[in-house]
Structures are given as structure tokens and as C-alpha cells.
Amino acid sequence: MARIAGVDLPRNKRIEIALTYIYGIGLPRSKEILNATGINKNTKIIDLEDSEIVQLRSILDSKYEIEGDLRRIEAMNIKRLMEINSYKGKRHRLGLPLRGQRTRTNARTRRGSKKTMANKKKAPKK
């Protein structure tokens, strides 16, 4: 199992798909990386040579923000929005949708599950 950027890539998948398991790499960026390194996109992870893995690691470290660094940058951006009291920052703080979605209905992902009848207690079992 190849370990790149702190992520164990699945052994039996094609390299093109396996790279998308790394946070910050989607299919287009995966194809771009493979074109830059010259690795065939249909190669399975189990068939990669050590030199190819080293080549992938070096290009990912030098060119791209991935995994922990990217998560840290995103968290800092959200924190900045909250500190400057922007509209989006306030919505983050309240746990509401940010981009103009309605909240009267259909906001379950951000707001959490619906509690019916003011948290009515269940009858005790006998």
C-alpha cells in the first residue's frame, strides 16, 4: 500500500482514481499530476515502482497545497470571516447556510435534525 501525504492509497485502484483519496486532489488535478510525472493513468497502485512513488511525493510537496496544510488554510479563512464580522462569518458562527439558501425548510445539514414536540420525553419501559 502506497502512503502519500499521510494517506494510504487503496492498492487495487488505478492511480488516477487513488490520488483523489488525498484531500485537495480531484480527478482533474489527478490527471494534471500524472501528465506532469509521465505515469500511465491506468497503472494500479500495487504495480507502481518506488521511483514513481518518490516522484509523485516530490511533485505533490512542491506544487500543491494538500491534506493538513489545505485544511489549516480553510480553517484560517473561516476564522478570519468570523473575526471581521462579515455576513458569511456570522452564518458560520450560527451554523446556518452561507450562500443564500432558504432556512425555513431544507437546511437540515447545517441546522441539525428536527426535534418534534419540544423534546417530549418517552414513556419509561416497564
The predicted-structure confidence for 13-66, as pLDDT tens digits, reads as follows 999 999 999 999 999 999 999 999 999 999 999 988 999 999 999 999 899 998
| Unique residue bearing C-alpha cell 479563512 | 77
Ordered DSSP codes for 5-57: TTEEPPTTSBHHHHGGGSTT--HHHHHHHHHHHT--TT-BGGG--HHHHHHHH
pLDDT tens per residue, range 62-99: 999 988 899 999 999 999 999 999 999 999 999 999 99
Architecture of 3-67 per CATH?
A: Orthogonal Bundle (1.10)
Start-end ranges of CATH 4.10.910.10 in the chain? 86-120
For residue 72, the model assigns a pLDDT of: 95
pTM score, two decimals?
0.74
Where in the sequence of the chain do the CATH 1.10.8.50 domains occur?
Answer: 3-67
Q: Is-contact 43 17, C-beta < 8 A?
A: no
- Assigned CATH for 86-120: 4.10.910.10
